[in-house]
Amino acid sequence: MTNLLVNTRDQQFILFEQLGIEELFKSEKYADFSKEIVLMMRNEAEKLAVNVLLPAYADGDKEGCTFKDGKVYVPASFHHIFKRYVEGGWLCSNESPDVGGQGLPLVVRAACMESMFAANSPFLLYAGGMHGAARLIEEYGTDEQKNKYMYNMYAGKWGGTMCLTEPGAGTDVGALKTSAKRLPDGRFSVTGTKIFITSGDHDLCPNIIHPVLARIEGDPPGTAGISIFLVPKYRVKEDGTLGKFNDIRTGNVEHKMGIKGSATCTLNFGDEGDCIGELLGKERQGMRIMFQMMNSSRLEVGMQGLGHATAAYEHAVQYAKERIQSVPVWEIKNPGAKAVPIIQHPDIRRKLLWMKAHVEGIRALLYFTWFCIDMTAISRSENEREKWHGLVDLLTPVCKAYSSEKAQLVCSYAIDVYGGYGYCSDYPVEQYFRDCKIASIYEGTNGIQALDLVGRKLGQRKGADVMNIFSEINSSIVKLKRIEELKRHVAYLEEAYNALIDLTVHFAQLGKSAGFLMPVLNATPYLEIFGDVIIGHFLMQAACIADEKLNTIYKEKGVEESKGKKRALIREDPEVAFYQGKNAAAKFFAVDILSHVKSRCEAIKFGERVPIEMADESFTY
């Protein structure tokens, strides 16, 4: 199936040729899976994305959500696609069959979800909230809570959210004011206002279960005193049917720049003093519990970025091949020259290759991280499990922030490729750009992700996790250096890698001294550099595999000795075009991005303090 959302060949390449996910199928947990099954599932996902989700994408944007008489209504077309999504078993496809799932490895789910994110990310936020909240109950809930809430949520009957943010408590969740008062029967009366709650209210389901962060009266201030409660929109009776309205009133639905089909709500809990919540897990464990949901949501946000970026790139390539404009630069003095498709112009080619390299690199990074979670689940020893788990922890802020940040640039370049048409709503790229922006804000802004990486993740397990990823890159470099074709480009990867290590060590030393503000100040550029080096590594690794495959094909066709014949093969054999594209993306990334890493690291090490020292008054006059 061809589509303008995702490069399915590249998906397969990363899954099977680069990551070798068949390793998973050797385990008991994933023994029922095979390459054929994975490809079949991925195709089904693509069909749903293209035929069902995509047609509702522009609708959702135009119609948006409606707030009427205190109730929220989703775009009309979302009802039909929600039904199809649930019927297809996608809501909890990775969960165990015991709770209604299909037990899909997460990396396979990611490949399936990529086309869906590319097709309609605002819609997926309803499903994501449901799944995430149910997962939390599965992990921390009592049997009673599971029976009461979880199964209905996994079945797509009831919605779910995550309620952290308040007017005075955004990044600083510990400042929250929502309170929980103990009731004689062990439950709690919840009072407070949460804002910006995704899927906070909607008409897709008759009930919504809100995991809500609140402080039990008398508990200490800050994050240490926060607990988490399950607060249903309608209370649930003993027999499982819906009971009384639980005093959660929707105050507002936000009017936003993008993701207009996703309802972002202000929720007032207990205005009438009649909102009842049940403790989830133990008291004062709220942040720890919510972090489980947030971590997987952060990876999903990375997927959202990838979804927009891949769709924007695929559309831009198609447009560039069709739009005829201007004569080629080498014919500029020829009055008889004909205008050509804009893909012939070097500046457009450069943009497209920048987009391709980032999309494919981010895809590899995200799939790898999901694969690490799967490996955690099948690890045979505690050491091995810790290694995979540590990689996931370390890479989560990079997946979230790097992917969302670069995805915006990819979408922006896509608009540039379309020219003025890209800025108009006749084409989808402007919607991708608007919808993509939120990914750098929610689930912890990208600035906070960078602080998480530098302040916590680099040093976790005494630096063992970051050393693991570094040694992975180092092994690649050793292997890559043997390939003549890539030698000059690998030198840039090696230089960037050494500069990153040097900067990381520098940060570690500063962290122990009064100079700790420098890593804090430079956390965002550090994360970008870290991401660039990892992406560069994945792209180079891919180029190495591509090189081997190309050599085999050239040998089979007997064209090893002729450059011209090798080029000619591109038109005959799409595999040759694909592998040469992998090669080109890696080389371009090395020269265009990695070659600057050393100087960027040096600039950070220079230790300029002016952003900190400059007076507030000097920022504006």
Ligand X SMILES: Cc1cc2nc3c(=O)[nH]c(=O)nc-3n(C[C@H](O)[C@H](O)[C@H](O)COP(=O)(O)OP(=O)(O)OC[C@H]3O[C@@H](n4cnc5c(N)ncnc54)[C@H](O)[C@@H]3O)c2cc1C
Rounded Cα distance between 63 and 521, Å, is 42
In the complex, what is the shortest distance from the CB of residue 296 to ligand X, in angstroms, rounded to a whole number?
14
Of 412 and 445, CB closest to ligand X = 445
Query: Of residues 247-266, which lie at the interface with ligand X (CB under 6 A)?
Result: 256, 264
Closest CA to 299 of 429, 170, 394: 394
| Residue 444 binds ligand X, judged by CB under 6 A | yes
Query: Which listed range, 241-249, 352-360, 438-446, 591-599, lies at the site for ligand X (CB under 6 A)?
Result: 438-446
| Residue 181 β-bridge partners | 189
Of 359 and 399, CB closest to ligand X = 399
| Residue 266 β-bridge partners | 252
| Residue 164 binds ligand X, judged by CB under 6 A | yes
| Residue 442 binds ligand X, judged by CB under 6 A | yes
In the complex, what is the shortest distance from the CB of residue 171 to ligand X, in angstroms, rounded to a whole number?
3
Rounded Cα distance between 329 and 1, Å, is 36
Handedness of CA 219, 221, 223, 224 (dihedral sign): negative
| Residue 170 binds ligand X, judged by CB under 6 A | yes
Q: Which of 51, 147, 171, 460 binds ligand X (CB under 6 A)?
A: 171
In the complex, what is the shortest distance from the CB of residue 256 to ligand X, in angstroms, rounded to a whole number?
6
Query: Which listed range, 40-48, 85-93, 174-182, 439-447, lies at the site for ligand X (CB under 6 A)?
Result: 439-447
In the complex, what is the shortest distance from the CB of residue 435 to ligand X, in angstroms, rounded to a whole number?
10
Catalytically annotated residue among 95, 114, 314, 443: 443
| Residue 198 binds ligand X, judged by CB under 6 A | yes
Q: How many chain residues interact with ligand X (CB under 6 A)? A: 19
Rounded Cα distance between 560 and 546, Å, is 15
Q: Which of 55, 341, 447, 525 binds ligand X (CB under 6 A)?
A: 447
In the complex, what is the shortest distance from the CB of residue 277 to ligand X, in angstroms, rounded to a whole number?
16
Rounded Cα distance between 378 and 387, Å, is 12
In the complex, what is the shortest distance from the CB of residue 259 to ligand X, in angstroms, rounded to a whole number?
6
| Residue 340 binds ligand X, judged by CB under 6 A | no
What letter represents residue 85's amino acid?
A: Y
| Residue 499 binds ligand X, judged by CB under 6 A | no
Q: Which of 163, 357, 373, 543 binds ligand X (CB under 6 A)?
A: 163
Residue 2 is classified by DSSP as: -
| Residue 445 binds ligand X, judged by CB under 6 A | yes
Compute, in degrees rounded to 10, the torsion defined by CA atoms 409, 412, 413, 414. 120
**Residue 525, class by beta-carbon neighbours within 10 Å (0-12 exposed, 13-18 middle, 19+ buried)?**
middle
Rounded Cα distance between 529 and 593, Å, is 9
Of 200 and 536, CB closest to ligand X = 200
Query: Which listed range, 159-167, 346-354, 373-381, 389-397, lies at the site for ligand X (CB under 6 A)?
Result: 159-167
**Does residue 443 carry a catalytic annotation?**
yes
Handedness of CA 196, 252, 230, 96 (dihedral sign): negative
What 3-state DSSP class applies to 188?
strand
Of 198 and 344, CB closest to ligand X = 198
In the complex, what is the shortest distance from the CB of residue 9 to ligand X, in angstroms, rounded to a whole number?
33
Closest CA to 8 of 82, 109, 114, 88: 114
Of 168 and 240, CB closest to ligand X = 168
Of 11 and 193, CB closest to ligand X = 193
Rounded Cα distance between 237 and 202, Å, is 22
Q: What angle, rounded to 10 degrees, do the helices at 523-557 and 563-572 form?
A: 100
What 3-state DSSP class applies to 620?
coil
Residue 212 is classified by DSSP as: E
Of 451 and 533, CB closest to ligand X = 451
Region for residue 32 given its phi and psi (left: phi exceeds 0; alpha: psi -120 to 50; beta: otherwise): alpha
Q: Which of 50, 162, 312, 429 binds ligand X (CB under 6 A)?
A: 162
| Residue 196 binds ligand X, judged by CB under 6 A | yes
Of 246 and 449, CB closest to ligand X = 449
For residue 604, give every residue at least 6 positions away whose Cβ sits within 8 Å of its Cβ, in sequence order, or none: 503, 518, 522, 525, 526
Rounded Cα distance between 587 and 539, Å, is 9
| Residue 248 β-bridge partners | 269
Rounded Cα distance between 214 and 223, Å, is 10
Query: Which listed range, 194-202, 345-353, 473-481, 598-606, lies at the site for ligand X (CB under 6 A)?
Result: 194-202
Of 267 and 493, CB closest to ligand X = 267
Residues classed as catalytic: 443
The contact set with ligand X (CB under 6 A) reads 161-165, 170-171, 196-198, 256, 264, 438, 441-442, 444-445, 447-448
